[in-house]
Structures are given as C-alpha cells and as structure tokens.
Amino acid sequence: MALIIQKYGGTSLGDAGKIKKVAHRIRDTYLDGNNVVVVVSAMGGDTDRLLDLARDITDQPDEREQDVLVATGEQVSISLLAMALKSLGINAISFLAQQVMIQTDNAFGKARILKIDSDKILKALKERMVPVIAGFQGIDEMGNITTLGRGGSDTSAVAIAAALKADICEIYTDVEGVFTTDPNVCSEARKLDKISYDEMLEMASLGAKVLQIRSVQFAKKYQVPILVRSSFQDTKGTLVTMEDKDMESVIVSGITYDKDEAKITVTKVPDRPGIASKLFTPISEANIVVDMIIQNVGTDGLTDLTFTVSEADFEKALELVRDTAREIDAQEVLADPNIAKVSIVGMGMRSHSGIASTMFTVLAREGINIAMISTSEIKISCVIESKYTELAVRILHDAFGLGENKEA
Amino acid sequence: MALIIQKYGGTSLGDAGKIKKVAHRIRDTYLDGNNVVVVVSAMGGDTDRLLDLARDITDQPDEREQDVLVATGEQVSISLLAMALKSLGINAISFLAQQVMIQTDNAFGKARILKIDSDKILKALKERMVPVIAGFQGIDEMGNITTLGRGGSDTSAVAIAAALKADICEIYTDVEGVFTTDPNVCSEARKLDKISYDEMLEMASLGAKVLQIRSVQFAKKYQVPILVRSSFQDTKGTLVTMEDKDMESVIVSGITYDKDEAKITVTKVPDRPGIASKLFTPISEANIVVDMIIQNVGTDGLTDLTFTVSEADFEKALELVRDTAREIDAQEVLADPNIAKVSIVGMGMRSHSGIASTMFTVLAREGINIAMISTSEIKISCVIESKYTELAVRILHDAFGLGENKEA
C-alpha cells in the first residue's frame, strides 16, 4: 500500500464528463489498496473567466481581492470532484487551503508556500477517506487568501507530497510526459521514461512547459518523485527523480528551443568598471528580465556587449539601452528580434567532452550561423536566426541519437 | 456618525455595471461620515449556475460539498465589490464567513447562525475601512463551510447588525419596500413607511416575499431596525421596526394572498382521540408541510376534517390521506387544488373589533364563498376559490382604506 498524491490540471477537469472520468481513475487507485490524496486546479477556462470579471470592474484589480476571486475556481473543482467520488461510493472530502493550513507568505498572486499542517489530511487518510485539496491557493499569517501564480497547483501537489512524505506525486496533464523535444517540430521526438530534477529544470525553463519550474525545485529539495502522465491515456508517463547511474550514460536528454527572444548589441563600449551596471540597471528597474549576456574581451579599451530579452520587452529595452549608450559614448546599438535560442540538455555532459563541438559542427554543416553561445554544467544554448529553429532542433535531435530506441 | 449595515441582493449585483453603482452608493454613505459594513449575496443567477454544475455530476450531490460549491458565489461578489470600492479610493476589504467567524450549526444547506466574532470587523471599522462580508455562508465547529438556505444573506446582514449593535440594517433589493398588497394585482397598492416585526412576519410567510422570514425573526429578537429599499431608485423604503403608538391606529396594514395552496377534506371521520395524529403523521413523515387545519365540531360521533398543503405536495398528500381514510373508516376524501388563501394583516386588529365581520361581509357582497377561515392575533385568512383571488385582494384593499393617503 502506497501513499499517492494525484494532481489534476484544468484540462483534465474541463467539464462534468471529464470530472467523472477523473473520479473513476482515483477510485481505481484507491481500490487497489492505496491511500490517495487529490490536488486539483480550477476547471479549464474558469480562471480566465474570473479574471475577465475583475477586468470588467477595474483595470487594476486590488491584488488581495483578486486572489479571493480566483481562488473560487479551485473551490468549485474540489467540491464537484468530491461529489463525483461520493456518488461512486468513495468517502471523499474536499479541503480548501485554509482548512489544511497551506500557509504562504503574503505576496498576493505569487505567494510561496511556507508550511503545511498535515494533521487533518493524515487523520482523513487514517479513516480511509480521499482528501480532495484545492491547489494554487494558500493563506497567509493574517488569514488572507493567497494564490501561487499560474501553474501553482503543481507546486501545491509537490508540497503536499513532501509534507506527507508520499511515495509519489502523480501530475496528470494533457500530454503523455516529457519528450526529448517538441513533437510538433520533430516527428522523431520520444517520450522519456525518466529525467533528473536538474535536467527537468533546464527543460522547463527553456520552454518545454510541462511542469511549473517551482514545483520541480520543490521536488528536488524534498526529493519527491514526480510522475508526469496523461489523464486521457493510460500510458506510463515520465518519472522526474533524483539522478542515477542510468542517467549518466545518456549524454543528451533533450533539445529545447525558445523563439520568444530578441537580441540587442551595443558596440564599442568603453571597457571600464561600472559600464555593465550602467547599462543593465535601468532595464532591471523596468522589470525586464535579461536572459543571456555576452561580453567579448575588448581591444583598444573598447568592447561589444550583447544580451537577449523576451520579445514582449524588446521595444522598451531598446529604448532604455539607446539612452544609456549615448551617455556612455558607445558607438551604436544593433537590434534583432528575429532570433531563437536552441539548447541541448543532459546530465551526461558533465562527464563527456566534445558535446559542445558536436553541437557547433552539426549546426555549421547546415549553414546555420551561431550568434551567441551560453553554457551551464548540463546545458549548452546557441542563439541562431529564428527561421532555422525547426531545422536546428531536428538535426540536433538526430545527431545526439534521441530518436533511437523508440518506445511503443 | 452612524453604524450602517447595507445588504445587497443578487439582482443589485447582476453585472459589473450594477456592482459599480452599488459601490458608488456605499461610497456616498461612507463619505457622509458613517461607518459602513456591507453584506452581499451572489451575483444574480450565479447560485443557479453552480447548482446546475452539481446536477451535471450527480442527482444527489453531497450536502457538505454542495455548500462548498455554492459558497463560491458570495466569494466572487465580495471580491468584485471590494475591488470596485478600492478603485473609487475607499479602503474596502472583503471577508469570508470563516474570516469573521460566522459560526453556524452543521445543518448543511439550511444552517443556523450561532455566533459572530465581531472583533475583526470592529478593528477594520476603527481604521475607517469598509468590510464587505459574504452573506449566506458560515462555518461550523469543525471548520466546514455551511450555507443558510435561500435568502440567507438577509439573515447574515441582520445577525451582523445585531452583533455590531448597528444603528440600522439596510436591505437593498429590486422593490421599493413593503407594499399594502401586491401592486401587480391591485394598482392602488401603497408602499408602507413603517411596519412592525410581527406584521412583517405575517406578510412574509403569507407570500409578500421581500425579506427572508428568519431574518425578521432575528431582527425582532435583537431589536435591529431594518430598512427595506430599492437599490435602483432613491426612494425612502419601508422601515421594519418595533411596534409603536402610530401603528396601533392603523387597523389593517396589508393584504396578502397565496395561490400555491390545495385543499383536502376527509368527511365523516370517527371523532375520537388519536384520529388527527393518524392522519397527519404519515404526511409529516413525508416532509410535507401542512398550512391550515380545520376540524368542525362533530355530530353523531363523526366529524369533517379539512387542511391545506402546497400545490407541489398535493398529489403525494392526497395519496397518503386516502390510505389512512380507508384505515380509519372515514366516508370519503375530497380534493380541490383550485383554491387560494387571502389574508389581512394588522397590529390594530388586537384592539379593534369587527374586523373579521367586515372581511366576511366584503367578500360575501361580491359573491365570494369562504371555504375555510383561520385567525391569529394580527391576521385573518380566508380560503376561497382561486379564480376570485385578485378580486378579493382589490375589494379588501379598498374596504380597509389602504389605498388612501398615497405617497408621491
């Protein structure tokens, strides 16, 4: 008998029919003799409907009140799912965040979980009940309702799994698991059986949006194994877990890409202390996140500095940089929104040499020019012209043998 | 400076535009220097939408979970109204029932308020904030969400007014106040400036559905003055309050009617102890509420027994009574669904004689036959043929001079 956390997202709970299907799956797991704790998101589309209501009232909804508003989405789904389970003869009980004391800080709309009181949940489990808990929400010290931000239910589920020392946290979603790359771009893409927390973090932050990044960080910290799987199919899914010997033998686990990037270069910047700070302070003050930053070694006391931002922030960043460039007497500001970042991710890189040069060679062979390079311990990213993105993904996927050993 | 409770119902909060209008009204009251506490229902139609969701899941939704579900309706309206107030520069703050400890018993769907902790509300008022509190809901001893039943927000508002010792509890609705009778039936119907709790109780239970009965009982017990008024017009409304000298001089305050009644007569019932119990026990066990019961003095040891039930329960009640009639050897069971109850209500009846005979004379003059009569201290009800209802209301309204002294 295992203790299993099952988290169901909005698409899995889109309507009454889907909620009943989810109830059947939970019942099956429960009748196999397991203890089951369920964590749910709002029904698909409900959070957007609620945000629209707020926007009809005011352009700038109060953050505390907006959390009170959107938290109703999960409240609706826990009650409906508990009803569905009860009608199947399963003794389910819904819990709101405040009822099981999911305590967070008071950063409305992006709160962080501080503590979970597992007593009430454990008591329900002891009576062979199935607790159905509202994800995405919490309460702060003052008893105010908070929410964790988009995708926060994943983090709720992992945090509850950690608090209860669950055997596994199953995340049910509309994809079958984590793939070696985007199947829409590369038909050879293969579902991974297993991936390490660190690889998953690089994959997720690079655009393979299966799990909320924070939930993976949480899972890594508390060593909670996560199984990502489809709620519509009965396939095995991908296990996100601690790195093991198996993983070391795989050099590259996946290829990711991000087209939502734009590049800004400032040429002939006087190469003296404080220049980078002068350039980036106004940008960070405008809440613009800078992704990659490259500075070449300068000659003649001058250097070129290139960085990338998201396309949404591009115009604003460009304006700010032009102002600073005049101030610091740089030569000119070059801008290019038509770029993409392609990355290879894998634990094996740490112990294998030549991975980077393979990547560069493969891209060069197809005439794809590399504008920027950035590396971490388990990832290499190249910025290329946007139009070559899909081609680059496919040839890298092939070069690192990710399409081989296809599963059924 | 007064402490004013303002309660807004679902029709007053039907959409964003109406919510903003309500916010303006609250702001005006607040800027006049008053302390204001707001209590709200769910947005019009929202509770029905939620109940439909439950019915899509199962025919018999679990009662605890249904309360979790429908309680989201008020949570949405408190957050939206608080947002609207904040955008007008008023320091509003929403509170759920559990946040201000509106404690109830655990009768899900029809819970009763036991206690309200006024500390948090008073603290907010001290800081010149406007608390916006979810009506209709509470929490039980175990921290479960409960609801008070349809119209329960009126009771929430009055209970909060009682707990805070408010100067007045204003109930905003889609009518201008309490009328001498239904304006749709009698064009001479006049809005009352004032009415006593007892009269209001008789009016409400007899069909003039302006306030939830329980809220009036609560108001009477704790002597909370209620002002019923329109949220769409700026008219004065009707004050529901303790009886005073003024009221005594008015003999009849209003005429009410109820067409949703049906009549069952059992003839030649053996007149011996235990017979009434035999007849009515199966009916009450089937959760059917019996309204009027008339038993004539018997002759020859036999008596006729007549009673009324709502039309919805008519068939079921008839079936049960036929079974019992056979058992107790009654002669026959007569049934008539085409009846209506017309009542006159007024504090003045207690000290004036001849009111009943005036009522009977007026009805007789128009050839309206009276099938049953029932009286209380401040009310006389007659059961007549349904088709005469409107005529009876109009001639009684006229006979007791209710149309006189019209207000602007």
CATH number at residue B330: 3.30.2130.10
- In this prediction the ipTM stands at 0.82
pLDDT, averaged across chain A? 91
- In the prediction, which pLDDT does A99 show? 96
Within-domain flag for A335: yes
- In the prediction, which pLDDT does A133 show? 98
Within-domain flag for B28: yes
Within-domain flag for B404: no
Same domain, B128 and B274: no
Chain A positions contacting chain B at CB under 8 Å are: 15-16, 19-20, 50, 53-54, 56-58, 60-62, 64-66, 68-69, 71-72, 75-76, 78-80, 82-84, 86-87, 93-94, 96, 98-99, 143, 145
Same domain, B140 and B260: no
CATH number at residue B113: 3.40.1160.10
**Rounded to an integer, what distance in angstroms lies between the CA atom of residue A21 and that of residue B282?**
41
Domain stops at, among A151, A174, A197: A174
- In the prediction, which pLDDT does A215 show? 92
Same domain, A161 and A292: no
CA dihedral for B16, B19, B21, B26, sign (positive or negative) = negative
- In the prediction, which pLDDT does B273 show? 79
Q: Give A338's contacts (C-beta < 8 A, 6+ positions apart).
A: A385, A386, A387
**From the first residue on, what is the mean pLDDT of each consecutive set of 10 residues in chain A (408 residues)?**
95 95 97 97 94 96 97 98 98 97 95 94 97 97 93 94 97 90 90 92 73 90 95 90 75 91 92 84 88 80 89 94 92 94 88 86 92 87 94 95 64
Question: SS3 string of chain A?
Answer: CCEEEEEECHHHHCCHHHHHHHHHHHHHHHHCCCEEEEEECCCCCHHHHHHHHHHHHCCCCCHHHHHHHHHHHHHHHHHHHHHHHHHCCCCEEEECHHHCCEEECCCCCCCCEEEECCHHHHHHHHCCCEEEEECCEEECCCCCEEECCCCHHHHHHHHHHHHHCCCEEEEEECCCCCECCCCCCCCCCCECCEEEHHHHHHHHHCCCCCCCHHHHHHHHHHCCCEEEEECCCCCCCEEEECCCHHHHHCCCCEEEEEEEEEEEEEEEEECCCCHHHHHHHHHHHCCCCEEEEEECCCECCEEEEEEEEEHHHHHHHHHHHHHHHHHCCCCEEEEEEEEEEEEEECHHHHHCCCHHHHHHHHHHHCCCCCCEEEEECCEEEEEEEHHHHHHHHHHHHHHCCCCCCCCC
Total domains present in chain B: 2
Contact (CB, 8 A) for B346 and B250: yes
List C-alpha distances in Å: B47 to A87, B68, B112.
22, 12, 19
- In the prediction, which pLDDT does B233 show? 85
Same domain, B264 and B119: no
Tokens (6 digits) for A347:
């634990």
Dihedrals phi, psi of A196, to nearest 5 degrees: -85, 160
Picking from A57, A60, A94, A117 by the largest number of B CB atoms within 10 A of its own CB, the best residue to mutate is: A57
Contact (CB, 8 A) for B266 and B305: yes
- In the prediction, which pLDDT does B407 show? 42
**Rounded to an integer, what distance in angstroms lies between the CA atom of residue A378 and that of residue B141?**
53
Place of tokens 């058992």: B327
- In the prediction, which pLDDT does A397 show? 95
- In the prediction, which pLDDT does A341 show? 93
Domain stops at, among B174, B202, B221: B174
Q: Which domain holds residue A60?
A: 3-174
Q: How far is A287 from chain B (nearest CA, A)?
A: 24
Within-domain flag for A79: yes
Picking from A38, A80, A108, A121 by the largest number of B CB atoms within 10 A of its own CB, the best residue to mutate is: A80
Within-domain flag for A389: yes
Q: Give the CA radius of gyration of chain B.
A: 24
- In the prediction, which pLDDT does A205 show? 66
Within-domain flag for B236: no
Question: Residue B228: which H helix or E strand, with range?
Answer: strand B226-230
- In the prediction, which pLDDT does A406 show? 44
Picking from A83, A96, A123 by the largest number of B CB atoms within 10 A of its own CB, the best residue to mutate is: A83
Task: Enter the pTM of the model.
Answer: 0.84
Dihedrals phi, psi of A150, to nearest 5 degrees: -50, 135
- In the prediction, which pLDDT does B205 show? 66
Across the interface, which of B50, B57, B80 has its CB nearest the CB of A54?
Answer: B80
User: Which residues of B fall within a CB distance of 8 Å from A94?
Assistant: 64-65, 68
Same domain, A145 and A266: no
For residue range A200-248, what is the model confidence (pLDDT) as tens digits? 988 876 655 688 888 999 999 999 999 999 988 888 899 999 987 766 5
Across the interface, which of B72, B86, B143 has its CB nearest the CB of A99?
Answer: B143
- Sites in chain B below the pLDDT cut of 70: 205-209, 246-249, 404-408
Same domain, A148 and A48: yes
Within-domain flag for B19: yes
For residue range B365-375, what is the model confidence (pLDDT) as tens digits? 999 999 898 88
> Left, alpha or beta for B273 (phi > 0: left; psi -120 to 50: alpha)?
beta
Within-domain flag for A237: no
Domain stops at, among A174, A200, A235: A174
For residue range A28-77, what is the model confidence (pLDDT) as tens digits? 999 999 999 999 999 999 999 999 999 999 999 999 999 999 999 999 99
